[in-house]
Amino acid sequence: KNEVEQSPQNLTAQEGEFITINCSYSVGISALHWLQQHPGGGIVSLFMLSSGKKKHGRLIATINIQEKHSSLHITASHPRDSAVYICAAREGAQKLVFGQGTRLTINP
Amino acid sequence: GAGVSQSPSNKVTEKGKDVELRCDPISGHTALYWYRQSLGQGLEFLIYFQGNSAPDKSGLPSDRFSAERTGGSVSTLTIQRTQQEDSAVYLCASSLVPPRTNYGYTFGSGTRLTVV
């Protein structure tokens, strides 16, 4: 069993839909990261959170430390949101343990 | 620099040859990380440098892999006697210690290594 599990692995939705991607982890963490990888391969760090909730534009990330669960939400989804979203748990000072990613496709 | 710079962006090499991949982190970022992403696979931690501390090499898959970071800045990942299973995208990232702001890490665009 992977230490960081994401669901779903693939998600296709229509433009405008509310999107939720889930991440569960079994390791003790100092922080939880959400990353975005576009088809060209570049990775952008979206959020780093250790408690509660963070919001950036149409993106919202939440974490429940007790349940070892985090969610990434996208409101009013747009085709440009199509990408692979990766959850990563930071163990200790720096090491990241990655989920397998969720491939999101938003159709116009 | 403004971002994390990696070179080359693409590298094709023959099996058995040595390769060097370079990463130039954001100025002032004391932490530097190497990851790799094999085709269809998730990201895999390789090595982590922080300041003058001994690097965390726990993710290096074999003794054919080594990395150094000179002067606390540029890092080179060296793969000796390359094998076809080494084919992957090698990603470098840097951060402050501990990672700060909303984002944490800045990633380079990666080096796509193909071993033929």
| Selection from A91, A99, A90, A103 nearest residue A39 by Cα | A103
pLDDT at A72: 98
Question: For A42-95, how does the pLDDT look when each residue is reduced to its tens digit (9 = 90+)?
Answer: 888 899 888 999 999 999 999 999 999 999 999 999 999 999 999 999 877 677
pLDDT at A86: 95
Q: How many CB pairs under 8 A join A and B?
A: 68
Q: Does A54 touch chain B (CB under 8 A)?
A: yes
Question: For A4-57, how does the pLDDT look when each residue is reduced to its tens digit (9 = 90+)?
Answer: 999 999 999 999 999 999 999 987 788 899 999 987 778 888 998 889 999 999
CA dihedral sign, ordered A87, A92, A93, A94:
negative
Which whole number is the average pLDDT over B4-23?
97
pLDDT at B64: 97
Cα distance between residue B112 and residue B24, in whole Å: 16
DSSP strands (E only) in chain A: 4-7, 10-14, 19-25, 31-37, 43-49, 52-56, 59-64, 69-74, 83-91, 95-98, 102-107
Q: Does A23 touch chain B (CB under 8 A)?
A: no
Choice among A4-13, B13-22, B27-36, B100-109 with the minimum mean pLDDT? B100-109
pLDDT at B14: 97
Q: Residue A90: list chain B partners with CB under 8 A.
A: 99
Question: For B40-98, how does the pLDDT look when each residue is reduced to its tens digit (9 = 90+)?
Answer: 788 898 999 988 888 999 899 999 999 999 887 999 999 999 999 999 999 999 988 76
Q: Which residues fall within 8 angstroms of residue A47, CB to CB, at 6 or more apart?
A: A33, A34, A54, A56, A59, A61, A72, B102, B103
Tokens, residue B74: 């540029």
CA distance B2 to chain A (A): 14
Residue A1 has pLDDT above 60, yes or no: no
Is residue B25 very low, low, confident or very high in pLDDT (cuts 50, 70, 90)? very high
* A45 closest CB neighbour out of B35, B44, B104: B104
pLDDT at A5: 94
Cα distance between residue B108 and residue A26, in whole Å: 28
Q: Residue A35: list chain B partners with CB under 8 A.
A: 107
Q: Does A53 touch chain B (CB under 8 A)?
A: no
Cα distance between residue A2 and residue A73, in whole Å: 22
Q: Residue A98: list chain B partners with CB under 8 A.
A: 42-45
Q: Residue A46: list chain B partners with CB under 8 A.
A: 103
